[in-house]
């Protein structure tokens, strides 16, 4: 029904072109629901207004086809007949979206008298009908917009948009400014109205639960471009673009217990960046990313992403890991074929009871012990040696007991410098500088006195910080944190965890957080694996696993932490 090809809208500001939307292409079938998400200013509303031909101040290129008719070349007079009759819009709810000096009744009936040439009486009847359908008492028709509440105004806006029974309804942020109850009611209302009236819908929203409830397909927009497209539930569960993932991770509805972290940095000034606009904020940007903007490319059926790296890279993949121990002649199966993937910039929690095989898994990853079978890949390359842990940008591990992990005889300086010494990193001064950076990052002093003190004089918390700093000097791409806070008091644990998550967020490394503490995992994880008796019994996006939406034996586990 609606096809958009190569659509671009460019504003002008102080004589400088300011792209509002660039190379937008998608199509929408009759009755289909499409969601559009993205930060403020990413071009969502520009696109919506562009479809309706309501951007007189912008230069438009490309095509907008409605049932085969080209809209961008139509005269204003022709467009006027399309507007509201075929494409209607529920504008973002604000005090000024309705005319303050005209009654609701007149504002609701005027499209009917204009487009359907109804008499005043017929129009009023139709509006009364629509208001009843949207749950607003028709007595409010004599009221002025400022006399009704935000929720009522939202209903009036919906009634107004649907009055002419359009084929396509564009809805801009229907739930912002509504309280949770009204939000729910408005979403249910839209769902009901759509099933009875059968219009297609483009839903623009920051509210991901609304998107998940109402739409089947999802576009993510950034800097005026579509950067990801796919089936809504697949995109939300398994985003391919780091930006989409950042949007999802910032949604409190999805992560009621996790600390919220927005996408670091700000969107680029439109028109100023040559390469991929997300490069300065991305956890996996490379040299190619600054050259030219990436095109959408298909990654699996119906999934499209605009990324030079083909979407979020997989940092670590463990496939079919098996490890057996022998206690005398008895064979203890610690890992019975574990598959696990960690992607760029994400925090994956591996949770399980004591003895479920978590630590064995960590040791296999670091090649401290060898697996009996299975394969570990780091950045796509198989790991056979300990090379991956002995390089800048490799894998680093931090363990539960800092007292054992860091020799108490070493000075702080030596302890942190040791991994650099092992790989013979550059010169003495560079190493010294990296030590100080890492210590500062972990909020430790860098005074000579502290650097010279030996580790056994430090508190448990400080010692764990030294251990983390020791991992950070290697600028790991993947940090494996194995029960790192289990021996700390709750306050120190909270402080260290927040600091570590902050560093992870800022530097964009990936983290595999191994813990038996589900409460902690829930505070920090984007994705979760549950390990039980050597098997992965459950895996998925944290908001799904912890919401208990996936049926599996470990739901009991989730039930336990819920009590």
Partner 1 sequence: MEMKATEQNRRRFFDYLFTLFIVVSLNFALPRLMPGDPFLYLSGDHGEEIARFSTDQIDAYRHQYGLDKPWPAQYAASLFALLRGDLGYSIYYNKEVSTILLNRLPWTLLLVLSAVFFSTVIGCLLGSLSASFRGKALDRLLYPLMIAVAEIPAFLLGLMLLFFLAAGLRLFPLSGAMTHFAGTAGFWHTFVDIAHHAFLPVLTLTMVRTGAMYLLARNAMTTVLARDYVRTARAKGLSTARILARHSLRNAMVPIVTRVFLSLGGLVGGAILVENVFAYPGLGRLMRESVLVHDYPMIQGIFLLVTGAVLSANFLADCIYRRLDPRIGLSTEVQP
Residue ranges binding partner 1 (CB under 8 A): 49, 52, 54, 76, 79-85, 88-89, 91, 94, 96-102, 110-111, 114-115, 139-140, 142-144, 146-147, 160
Question: CB 140 → partner 1: shortest distance, Å?
Answer: 8
Strand order in the sheet with 69-70: 16-28, 2-13, 59-66, 69-70
Question: CB 59 → partner 1: shortest distance, Å?
Answer: 15
Distance CA 110, CA 164 (A): 10
β strands within 217-284, DSSP E: 217-222, 225-231
CB 127 within 8 A of CB 138: yes
- Tell which residue, 250, 242, 245, 249, has the closest CA to residue 289: 242
Closer residue to partner 1 in complex, CB, 140/529: 140
Closer residue to partner 1 in complex, CB, 146/443: 146
Question: CB 85 → partner 1: shortest distance, Å?
Answer: 7
Distance CA 430, CA 454 (A): 22
- Tell which residue, 47, 57, 56, 44, has the closest CA to residue 13: 57
Question: CB 70 → partner 1: shortest distance, Å?
Answer: 18
Closer residue to partner 1 in complex, CB, 139/331: 139
Closer residue to partner 1 in complex, CB, 111/419: 111
Question: CB 222 → partner 1: shortest distance, Å?
Answer: 25
State both tokens at 130.
């629509």
Strands 330-343 and 347-351, by their bridges, are: unpaired
State both tokens at 327.
């206690």
Closer residue to partner 1 in complex, CB, 41/264: 41
Closer residue to partner 1 in complex, CB, 89/412: 89
Question: CB 218 → partner 1: shortest distance, Å?
Answer: 24
Closer residue to partner 1 in complex, CB, 18/143: 143
Helix (H) or strand (E) holding 504: helix 490-507
Strands 217-222 and 33-37, by their bridges, are: parallel
Question: CB 101 → partner 1: shortest distance, Å?
Answer: 5
Closer residue to partner 1 in complex, CB, 169/398: 169
If one counts every other C-beta atom within 10 angstroms of the C-beta of residue 461, the result is 18
Q: How far is CA 271 from the centre of its chain?
A: 24
Question: CB 219 → partner 1: shortest distance, Å?
Answer: 21
Closer residue to partner 1 in complex, CB, 87/350: 87
User: If you count them, how many residues does the chain have?
Assistant: 563
Closer residue to partner 1 in complex, CB, 65/74: 74
Go through 151-173 and write b for each residue having 16 or more CB atoms within 10 A of its CB, e for each that does not: bbbbbbbbbbbbbbebbbbbbbb
Closer residue to partner 1 in complex, CB, 111/223: 111
Question: CB 25 → partner 1: shortest distance, Å?
Answer: 23
Closer residue to partner 1 in complex, CB, 82/545: 82
Question: CB 33 → partner 1: shortest distance, Å?
Answer: 21
Distance CA 351, CA 349 (A): 6
- Tell which residue, 193, 175, 165, 157, has the closest CA to residue 33: 193
State both tokens at 72.
């961008």
Distance CA 510, CA 521 (A): 15
Question: CB 207 → partner 1: shortest distance, Å?
Answer: 20
Cα torsion 460, 464, 470, 474 to 10°: value is: 180
- Tell which residue, 520, 538, 426, 439, has the closest CA to residue 481: 520
Closer residue to partner 1 in complex, CB, 160/383: 160
Question: CB 97 → partner 1: shortest distance, Å?
Answer: 5
Q: What is the DSSP letter of 92?
A: -
Distance CA 415, CA 329 (A): 39
Listed in sequence order, the residues at least 6 apart from 401 whose beta carbon sits closer than 8 Å to its beta carbon are: 487
Question: CB 7 → partner 1: shortest distance, Å?
Answer: 18
Burial of 551 (0-12, 13-18, 19+ CB in 10 A): exposed
């Amino acid at each position: 029904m609606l096809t958009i090809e190569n659509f671009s809208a460019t504003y002008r500001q102080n004589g400088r072109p300011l792209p509002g939307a660039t190379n937008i292409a998608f199509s929408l079938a009759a009755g289909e629901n499409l969601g559009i998400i993205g930060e403020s200013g990413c071009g969502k509303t520009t696109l919506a207004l562009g479809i309706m031909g309501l951007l007189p101040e912008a230069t438009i290129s490309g095509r907008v086809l409605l049932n085969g008719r080209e809209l961008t070349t139509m005269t204003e007079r022709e467009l006027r007949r399309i507007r509201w009759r075929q494409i209607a819009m529920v504008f973002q709810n604000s005090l000024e979206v309705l005319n303050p000096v005209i009654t609701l009744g007149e504002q609701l009936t005027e499209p009917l008298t204009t487009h359907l040439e109804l008499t005043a009486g017929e129009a009023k009847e139709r509006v009364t009908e629509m208001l009843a359908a949207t749950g607003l008492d028709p007595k409010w028709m004599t009221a002025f917009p400022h006399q009704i509440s935000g929720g009522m105004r939202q209903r009036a806006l919906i009634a107004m948009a649907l009055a002419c029974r359009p084929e396509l309804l564009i809805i801009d942020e229907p739930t912002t400014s509504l309280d949770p109850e009204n939000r729910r009611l408005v979403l249910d209302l839209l769902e009901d109205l759509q099933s009875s009236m059968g219009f297609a819908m483009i839903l623009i929203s920051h509210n991901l639960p609304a998107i998940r409830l109402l739409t089947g397909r999802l576009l993510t927009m950034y800097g005026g471009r579509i950067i990801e497209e796919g089936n809504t539930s697949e995109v939300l569960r398994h985003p391919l673009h780091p930006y989409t993932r950042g949007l999802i991770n910032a949604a409190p509805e999805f992560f009621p217990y996790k600390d919220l972290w927005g996408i670091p940095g700000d969107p680029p000034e439109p028109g100023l960046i040559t390469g991929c606009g997300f490069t300065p904020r991305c956890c996996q940007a490379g040299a190619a990313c600054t050259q030219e903007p990436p095109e959408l490319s298909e990654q699996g059926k119906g999934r499209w992403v605009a990324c030079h790296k083909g979407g979020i890279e997989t940092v670590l993949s463990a496939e079919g890991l098996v490890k057996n121990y022998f206690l005398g002649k008895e064979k203890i199966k610690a890992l019975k074929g574990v598959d696990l993937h960690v992607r760029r910039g994400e925090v994956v929690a591996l949770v399980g009871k004591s003895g479920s095989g978590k630590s064995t898994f960590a040791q296999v990853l670091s090649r401290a012990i060898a697996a009996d079978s299975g394969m570990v890949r780091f950045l796509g390359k198989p790991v056979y040696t300990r090379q991956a842990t002995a390089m800048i940008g490799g894998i680093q591990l931090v363990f539960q007991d800092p007292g054992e992990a860091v020799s108490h005889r070493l000075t702080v300086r030596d302890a942190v410098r040791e991994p650099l010494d092992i790989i013979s990193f550059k010169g003495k001064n560079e190493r010294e500088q990296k030590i100080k950076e890492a210590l500062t990052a972990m909020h430790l002093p860098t005074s000579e006195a502290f650097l010279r003190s030996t580790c056994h004089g430090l508190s448990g918390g400080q010692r764990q910080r030294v251990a983390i700093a020791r991992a950070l000097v290697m600028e790991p791409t993947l940090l494996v944190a194995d029960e790192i806070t289990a021996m700390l008091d709750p306050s120190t644990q909270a402080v260290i965890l927040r600091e570590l998550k902050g560093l992870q967020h800022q530097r964009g490394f990936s983290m595999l957080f191994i813990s038996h503490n589900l409460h902690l995992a829930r505070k920090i994880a984007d994705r979760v694996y549950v390990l039980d008796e050597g098997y992965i019994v459950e895996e998925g996006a944290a908001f799904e696993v912890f919401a208990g939406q996936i049926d599996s034996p470990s739901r009991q586990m989730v039930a336990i932490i819920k009590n």
